[in-house]
Amino acid sequence: MNLGAAHPLMDGRTAESALISAYRGLAPHRRPVWFMRQAGRSLPEYRALREGTNMLESCLDPEMASEITLQPVRRHDVDAAIFFSDIVIPLKLAGVDVDIVPGVGPVLGTPIRSAADVAALPVLTDAALEPIRQAVARTVAQLGSTPLIGFAGAPFTLAAYMVEGKPSRDHLGPRTMMHADPDTWRALTEWAADASGRFLRAQLEAGASAAQLFDSWAGSLGLDDYVRHVAPASSLALDHVRGLGAPLIHFGTGTSELLAAMYDVGVDVVGVDYRLPLAEANRRLGGRVPLQGNIDPALLQAPWEVLEKHVREVLDSGSAAPGHVVNLGHGVPPGTDPEVLTRVVELIHSVSPPA
């Protein structure tokens, strides 16, 4: 498998960028930074563009999705774009009845509760992913040497939504199913792995230079449950994109106790949320894994001197890792002042990278 000679990683556009260098454990020319949820919510130009268009429609409009992806790169001078989409888009493209309800989140018309429900699920086809390829290609054509990061929700997070039928605080439904009906659970997570993997592969083949697997809800699990009932499906999802030559990143929230297991599914970089210092994450991973993170999003609305001190501490803590890409320990809060993000990027870029 390869990405082709015209791919940004292959033709020289992004291979030596600060982001890709850090992901590969090489010395970047400056400290790379991007923010999860940088595309959207906090930007007035995003809100203006989205007016009158629902979330799923905006994700599936190649022109709009591309423009939203590009907005934070223009505004903040971040070192990567993150593809604007949603983790339930693969479900929608497969034909699953799902919608994003304002103020609630993803809601399924019919939750998945039985083996028959899983067997009835439609298969995501490559043809259905054409709007994603178009949006990625439009974006990459305008990014130049700035890499695009593709993303997908990890199978556990997708399956958790599918079992609960809506967002959940404790994820009791999927946690019960994995023990009470392990065969159905395995079939469901394998379906989700196929959908996530195809979604990731479409983005990489269309021009993304890296890919991140988000496991938003894995922090609800203990280590044994993660290793036995979740990690195999995450590995299956990543099988779709192994060997392409693009760095693969794995991130979850509340996953401090799972970091080594999340790395072991077969990725190059581990994202760390705001709960664990990067120096400790580096120790737990044996000092062998490039890290991404982990500015606390809550401090983006703190006085500048407080935020600056925290950012410098994150830079110092991450310096011992083989590579460090600065990010938040979760997504940009909707009420964040965009000028603060720009100032944070300027601060990070002003600090020399580790030798």
Supply the pTM of this predicted model: 0.97
Is residue 8 included in any domain, yes or no? no
Model confidence band, residue 288 (pLDDT cutoffs 50, 70, 90): very high
Cis peptide before 2 (omega within 30 of 0): no
Mean pLDDT computed over 308-322 = 97
Does residue 2 form part of some domain? no
Does position 2 have pLDDT exceeding 90, yes or no?
no
312 is an active site residue: no
Average pLDDT over residues 113-120: 98
| Catalytic residue (choose from 46, 75, 138, 161) | 161
The model's pLDDT over 82-98, given as tens digits with 9 standing for 90+, comes to: 999 999 999 999 999 99
Q: How many helices (H) and strands (E) does the chain have?
A: 16, 9
Q: Is 12 inside any structural domain?
A: no
Expressed as residue numbers, the domain containing 268 is: 18-350
- Within-domain flag for 37: yes
CA distance 28 to 31: 7
Instruction: Look at 278 and 3; give whichever has higher pLDDT.
Output: 278
CA neighbor of 85 nearest in space, from 121, 67, 58: 58
Asked if the model's pLDDT at residue 201 lies above 70, the reply is yes
pLDDT value for 40: 81
Mean pLDDT of 333-337: 94
In a domain, 82, yes or no: yes
Write down the catalytic residue from 41, 113, 186, 343.
41
Distance CA 114, CA 121 (A): 11
Q: Is 46 part of the annotated catalytic residue set?
A: no
- How high is the pLDDT of residue 350? 98
Strands 105-108 and 98-101: antiparallel
Say whether 273 is catalytic: no
13 has catalytic annotation:
no
For residue 31, give the CATH number of its domain: 3.20.20.210
Q: How far is the C-alpha of 78 from the C-alpha of 57, rounded, in Å?
A: 26
Q: Which of 46, 75, 86, 263 is flagged as catalytic?
A: 86
Is residue 249, in this structure, part of any structural domain at all?
A: yes
- Give, for 231, the enclosing helix (H) or strand (E): helix 231-239
Report if residue 3 sits inside a domain.
no
Which residue in the list 13, 37, 75, 198 is annotated as catalytic?
Answer: 37
Exposure string of 282-300, with b = 16+ CB inside 10 Å and e = fewer, is bebbeeebbbbbbbbbebb
Closest CA to 285 of 260, 262, 267: 260
Query: Does residue 355 carry a pLDDT above 80?
Result: no
Q: What is the pLDDT of residues 7-64, one digit of tens each?
A: 999 999 999 999 999 999 999 999 999 999 998 889 999 999 999 999 999 999 999 9
Mean pLDDT of the chain: 96
pLDDT, one tens digit per residue, over 141-163 is 999 999 999 999 999 999 999 99
How many domains would you assign to the chain?
A: 1
Q: What percent of the chain has pLDDT over 70?
A: 100
At residue 89, the pLDDT reads 97
Band (pLDDT 50/70/90 cuts) for residue 1 is: low
Map residue 98 onto helix, strand or coil: strand
Residue at 1 is within a domain: no
Q: Is 50 one of the catalytic residues?
A: yes
Catalytic residue among 30, 50, 275, 284: 50
